[in-house]
Structure 1
Amino acid sequence: MITSNPIGDWTWEITSSTDGFRPRRAAETAVAVWNILADHELASPVGKVGLSVRSVGNMRDVRLDAGGLNLELEPLAPGTDLSRAVAEADSLDGDHLVSARIDCPGFWLESGARHRVEKLFAIGVDVWKSSLLVVTLETYSDAWLTMDTRDREQPQVHAENAPRLSAALEEISALLGSAPDPGDSSHYAVPTETGFEDPSIEGPAYDDSWGTFEVPTRSGLLRSRIPSSEDEYEETTEHPVRYFTIQRDEQTLGYVWASVADDAAGYEPRTAAGDAAFEAGAEWLLRLRAAHGQGLTPLSALEWVAQRPPRPEIGLIAEDAPQEAPSLDSLEELSGRY
């Protein structure tokens, strides 16, 4: 399963014993960690990187905010987006917090097949006042666990993926010259220096942690993108649901659905599609809200939104007729897979 908040994280801290760290060091370190992940197919060859500079004395004083830069094959070569941002950061005077961040699309392996996830890992590198460099690696997948976050054993998935994570952590530690500090236990898992504790030994911290925590989190992320309103359908149902698949550029972004027997309808983002799933989902929720304002039943609303003029930027409906799932939980399950 794929989550919106990290499954776990690891941190490395390095203090300067010479003249201090320049902003370029933050970018160089982030790229070096990304290259290690890419060697293990935990990051894809292309992606986006952001670089920011804030005044340590006033974090609201943003001196540089360069986001969504292309992460090219040689990101710091002269003339690239990142090298220009680094040059601007290097020219600034004063005590700063320099931050580089890379969201890493990568590949989940299962039964020998590769499944792309738009945000498998995230790399963060912070340089504080040139004297302290902090590297953080976060993961958003349970592929490294012996039991998934819905309490099901997955020995084959673990066998295909956990060694890749362990090898990457070992190589990052060699690069940085120290072992990682594993993050705190999350709702989902307990990080260690080499991966995660085995939940099949101690048992999971929560029953169905993905359903308990991820589903409400995704709903909150979706609804934070649109104005609040009481003029809308219920968010949950105990009945079967009918749904349409939303796709853009052959990628599934999510599922717009309606209950067959009560006043519930909504949108389930395909978490593995990353931010695009939530950006599109907000627009589909607004379409459902408009249908509710016309007094349409959920099933009529589902047909109504399917007949609206298409907007390719928010995705298109992939089927001629709605499909049916036995429950909303089963559709949430589908949306949370790779």
Structure 2
Amino acid sequence: MRAPRECGSWFWDLEDVSQHGLDSALAVAHRMTEVLERHGLLTPHRLEYGWYVLDSGGIDVTTTLALTVPLGDSHVSERVLQSRPCGFPDAEVDDIHVVGPGTWIDVKGESRREPRLVDLSVSPAPVSLTAELAVHHDIWGWFDFAGKPHPDVYQRNAPRLKAALQELNSMLGVDAEPGEATHFGFATDLGIGTPDAYEDGSGLDLTYKL
């Protein structure tokens, strides 16, 4: 099950280590995706991004671009700009989301493919370049969404997320800042935190919010 809000998120402010702008944002997205793909967390299939007009705001248009070439290909930036809505010639690209499936490991140790196992976005905003990673599934935490401990699932998946976050921090040259907590969990520096358990060892049942 996938929660409607994130169980945890991590934010990188790249102002001091990367230039802003579309080309730089796509380059960062490519490098981050390479790390996540090595850990089996994200295989990029498409990009999704909105548009805004400077000093006016969003224009309520979202573009989906299939990745028929590798994300690191020099033509991707050109294809993104060519997809600009014709009615808004001054529109700029908003947050770029890299969309694709990832692999998680179940209680039997079998690998399972899951759409949007992680969400990766990079912002080419003119102020500064930023990136964010978010997760929406309970496999990264000690408890499932029903509040039942699932240590086997946790131990097969949480270390993979931790390793990916460590590698991303090292590659980007900036440590991620954990995002705000939601009903479905909270992030620590390198994973999902474990809330206090009830006397019987169970956690909070969140299935009514799914």
Whether the aligned pair in 2 keeps the contact of 1:26 and 1:98 (CA below 8 Å) is no
Give yes or no for the alignment of 1:143 onto 2:139.
yes
Residue equivalent to 1:120: 117
RMSD of equivalent CA atoms: 2.9
Report the alpha carbon displacement of residue 126 of structure 1 after superposing the two structures with TM: 0.9
Give deviations 1:274-306, integer Å, cap 9, x for gaps: xxxxxxxxxxxxxxxxxxxxxxxxxxxxxxxxx
| Structure 2 CA distance for aligned equivalents of residues 189 and 69 of structure 1 | 31
- The Cα of 1:104 is off from its aligned counterpart by 3.1
Question: Among residues 162, 166, 172, which one is paired with 1:170 in the alignment?
Answer: 166
Offset from partner CA, 1:175-231 (integer Å, 9 cap, x none): 2211111111111212111101123xx12897311x1211xxxxxxxxxxxxxxxxx
206 and 159 in structure 1: CA distance in 2 versus 1, 3 angstrom threshold:
closer
Give ranges in structure 1 of 5+ residues lacking alignment.
215-338
Q: Unaligned 5+ residue runs, structure 2?
A: 84-88
What SS does structure 1 have at the residue aligned with 2:140?
A: coil
After TM superposition, give the deviation of residue 2 of structure 1 in Å.
2.5
Quote the offset at 1:143 in angstroms: 0.8
- Identify the residue that residue 258 of structure 1 maps to in structure 2: none
Count of aligned pairs between the two proteins: 203
Q: Sort the Cα spacing of 1:17 and 1:38 in 2 relative to 1 into closer, same or farther, 3 A.
A: closer
Shift of 1:115: 1.1
Q: 1:96, CA displacement in angstroms? A: 5.0
Q: Is the 8 A contact 1:51 1:85 kept in 2?
A: no
- Residue 118 of structure 1 aligns to which amino acid in structure 2? P
Give the TM-score of the pair, scaled to structure 2: 0.83
Give how far 1:132 is off: 0.5
Partner of 2:86: none
Following superposition of structure 1 onto structure 2, how do residues 241-256 of structure 1 map, counting pairs within 5 Å? none
Match of 1:239 in 2: none
| Counterpart contact for 2:9–2:187, Cα < 8 Å | yes
C-alpha distance in structure 2 between counterparts of 1:182 and 1:24, whole Å = 26
AA of the residue aligned to 2:117: L
Structure possessing the higher relative contact order (Cα contacts under 8 Å, 6 or more residues apart):
2
Cα distance, 1:24 vs structure 2: 1.0
Q: Separation in 2 of the partners of 1:9 and 1:43?
A: 15
TM-score (norm 1): 0.54
Q: Does the aligned pair in 1 maintain the 2:6–2:185 contact within 8 Å?
A: no
Cα distance in 2 between the residues matched to 1:33 and 1:103: 13
- In 1, the alpha carbon distance for the partners of 2:69 and 2:164 equals 19
Q: Distance in 2 between matches of 1:187 and 1:197?
A: 13
